[in-house]
Structure 1
Amino acid sequence: MKQNTHPTSYRLVVFKDMSNGDAFLSRSTARSNETIVFEDGNEYPVIKLEISNTSHPFYTGKATRLDTAGRIDKFNKRYAKKA
């Protein structure tokens, strides 16, 4: 395995979901010029996200599902006349 390939400058960073305002604290090497006071009262660099697991439809259960059976029947009706 190669030595010295992974960064060693991990630090605590707040990731903030801009679509719903949720924020969580994690370790990262990402750089940021902005800071925020987190729930624990400490000030951390903040990384703004457009979407996270708290707002993504797949994780929230609000994903729309296609009615594939109805689409197949509709296709068959449309093209059954030509076959």
Structure 2
Amino acid sequence: MRPGIHPVSRPVVFRDRAADVAFLTRSTSHSSRTIEWEDGNTYPLIDVDISSGSHPFYTGTSRVVDTEGRVERFERRYGREASARG
């Protein structure tokens, strides 16, 4: 790799305000706000709108929106187990 062309990666805390969850990870993002982490060190803080802590796919709260009844018709034909498998 060529020196001097890559951004500096450092520990940063990402906080999901909707789920009240924070993650310490490495990032190249900048922030003027800081937070004291569980290990006693101070890290830059970046607030995010959605993360794995609040996203419906990761939390298991996702819903199938079907206005034409296709899901119900499929479940009647093939049973509920068929839709759970695939």
TM-score w.r.t. structure 1 length?
Answer: 0.72
Asked if residue 64 in structure 1 is aligned to residue 63 in structure 2, the reply is: yes
TM-superposed CA distance for 1:71, in Å, is 7.4
TM-superposed CA distance for 1:8, in Å, is 4.0
2:14 and 2:35 map into 1 onto residues whose CA distance is 10
Identical aligned residues as a percent: 45
> Could you list the runs of 5+ residues in structure 1 that have no partner in the other structure?
73-83
1:5 and 1:18 map into 2 onto residues whose CA distance is 35
Change (3 A) 1:57 1:5: farther
Instruction: Give 4+ residue runs of structure 1 displaced > 3 Å after superposition.
Output: 2-6, 69-72
Tell me if the contact between 1:13 and 1:28 (Cα under 8 Å) persists in the aligned partners. yes
CA deviations on 1:29-66 (whole Å, 9 max, x unpaired) are 10000000111111100111000001000110000113
Asked if residue 38 in structure 1 is aligned to residue 42 in structure 2, the reply is: no
> Could you list the runs of 5+ residues in structure 2 that have no partner in the other structure?
75-86
Cα RMSD (Å): 2.4
Aligned partner of 1:21 in structure 2 is: 20
User: In terms of mean alpha carbon deviation, does 61-70 or 17-26 score higher?
Assistant: 61-70
Asked if residue 10 in structure 1 is aligned to residue 9 in structure 2, the reply is: yes
1:5 and 1:64 map into 2 onto residues whose CA distance is 47
TM-score w.r.t. structure 2 length?
Answer: 0.70
Q: How many residues align?
A: 71
Change (3 A) 1:6 1:27: farther
